[in-house]
């Protein structure tokens, strides 16, 4: 959809939701207003415990007996940990899932700015 939008992106980590939505709002309003597209997979929107349980049950590796299942279970646990706990990094800033961005270039939004958009 990049050809009909000003910006298109897929969010893969929970910590990326807030900064990505803020950037999308800024870009949509910058210059000539236009559409942006954010893809947010359902497993990023659901609670961590629900996603962990679903991934482990669907993959069939929970309490695996052989080396292949144990390796896949370890990979799945690492993937889910990164998805929910890895900080978001962009433009020299680091944003943690429940924190504010740090570093240069942080623009503070007013309390009514989201409603205005």
For residue 54, pLDDT beyond 60:
yes
The answer to whether the predicted template modeling score (pTM) of the entire model surpasses 0.75 is no
For residue 107, pLDDT beyond 60:
no
Phi-psi region of 91 (alpha: psi -120 to 50; beta: other; left: phi over 0): left
Would you call 95 exposed, middle or buried from its count of C-beta atoms within 10 A (0-12, 13-18, 19+)? buried
Higher-confidence position of 59 and 113: 59
For residue 105, pLDDT beyond 60:
no
pLDDT (mean) for 36-46: 86
DSSP 41-105: -HHHHS-HHHHHHHHHHHHT-TT--SHHHHHHHHHHHHHHHHHHHSPEEETTEEE-TTS--BSTT
């Amino acid at each position: 959809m990049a050809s009909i939008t000003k910006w298109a992106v897929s969010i893969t980590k929970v910590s990326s939701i807030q900064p990505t939505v803020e950037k999308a709002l800024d870009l949509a309003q910058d210059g000539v207003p236009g559409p942006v597209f954010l893809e947010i997979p359902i497993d990023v929107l659901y609670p961590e415990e629900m996603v962990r349980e679903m991934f482990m049950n669907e993959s069939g590796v929970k309490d695996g007996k052989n080396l292949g299942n144990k390796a896949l279970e370890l990979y799945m646990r690492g993937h889910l940990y990164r998805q929910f706990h890895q900080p978001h990094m962009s433009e020299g800033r680091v944003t943690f899932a429940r924190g504010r961005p740090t570093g240069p270039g942080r623009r503070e939004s007013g309390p009514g700015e989201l409603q205005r958009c």
